[in-house]
Amino acid sequence: MELKRVVITGVGTVNPLGNSVQEFWENLKTGVSGAGPITHFDASKFTTQFACEVKNFDPLEYVEKKEVRKHDPYTLYAFASSAQAVADSGLDLEKVDGDRVGVIWGAGIGGLQTFHEEVRAFSEDRPRFSPFFIPKMIANIAGGLISIKYGFRGPNYTTVSACASASHAMIDAFNMIRMGKADIMLTGGSEAGVNEAGLAGFNSMRALSTRNDDPKTASRPFDKDRDGFVMGEGSAAFVLEEYESAVKRGATIYAELAGGGMSADAFHMTAPDPDGRGATLVMKWALEDAGIKPEDVDYINVHGTSTPLGDIAEPKAILKAFGEHAYNVSISSTKSMTGHLLGAAGAIEGLASVMALRNNIVPPTINHFTDDPEIDSRLDFTFNKAKERELNIAISNTFGFGGHNATVVFKKH
């Protein structure tokens, strides 16, 4: 079977660094931190009191006022990024065959805010649940509602694999097109976990940074003094299209989505394999899927969460997957700026990778102060300042609780 080529023709985002792709990219390349004291709720009783929140977001730009209360924030973020991506693609929706357009979305948790609010209200003073409780809360609803909005009747489902969710969604959407099961796919991911339940849950696991005195420097991937990740929220979306069709209609092509890999650590519920075995496999398989040699890769947008164990395991995996070429690859963790968007991480970091390719700029890993002796300092982590270099191939790594691993390969068009 001859596989079709797949390209990205539309992008959109709402995230802690901006409510558009351009704003996001400007802040990303200049090393702006999206972290600050939590404003969504009173966080004073929690061990961690800061996060990377979406700022100045107006859902009324995307949803009618009477509809807002029917949707969880994770769905509203999905509406925003997907609307931007569809508009950016220049698709004439009146001429598009909706039967050949699908939506595969990623979400690690779904409507956590809704779940928390409804259970709290019921336990305190309300003897019933809202009729919107289930449809607002379920993790698949964003993808379903996007398809309803646009009349996209092709393949439609949601991938749930913790922090690898959006990457898995992108890989599945990519495969739908290259195998001829769809002509166009809308894909990406969204998450809205910055709420009391999300913060308390991760605090109980001791997974979050507690650097309340200096939130903007709290996310410190690969730094010796890192003390956990910083929660983020938001969404990113992509319009994927069969290459020949995109060229024929004169679409703007951001990059080619060239391949994807998936693996499992098969090791622990929340901790990574310390030898990076699953991470090594997923990068190798992604490159094989794309028909690319390790020495062809210029940039890796790493998972790089700023956790004690994960930041040691991933560089080990890179060295195993790339050998000596690992020292020639530019590496960065954009979570140092956006925080960790959980199930949407693969989408926002995929977008960062695409914009890096398009602009020949490696975004930085900010907040590096002290080298960790357990991490090979010869690797180029692009610490603290962006770097200009010719970029042709980039990969994006995402690893989730449960040992789920996904890597997406992007190629400059």
Q: Give the residue numbers marked as catalytic.
A: 163, 303, 340
Which amino acid would we find at residue 70? K
Q: Residue 38: how many CA atoms within 13 Å on its side-chain side? A: 25
In three state form, how does the secondary structure of 246-260 look?
A: HHHCCCCCCEEEEEE
The DSSP call for residue 109 is S
Burial per residue of 110-136, b for 16 or more beta-carbon CB atoms within 10 angstroms, e otherwise: bbbbbbbbbeeeeeeeeeeebeebebb
CB neighbour list of residue 390: distance below 8 Å, 6 or more residues apart: 298, 360
For residue 55, with 0-12 CB atoms within 10 Å meaning exposed, 13-18 middle and 19 or more buried, which class applies? middle
For residue 88, what are the β-bridge partners?
Answer: none
Count of CB atoms within 10 A of residue 229's CB?
26
Left, alpha or beta for 31 (phi > 0: left; psi -120 to 50: alpha)? left
Q: Which two tokens stand for residue 86?
A: 């569809």
Q: Which two tokens stand for residue 174?
A: 């990519």
Query: What are the phi and psi torsion angles at 182 (to 5°)?
Result: -155, 160
* Dist CA 232 CA 52 (whole Å): 5
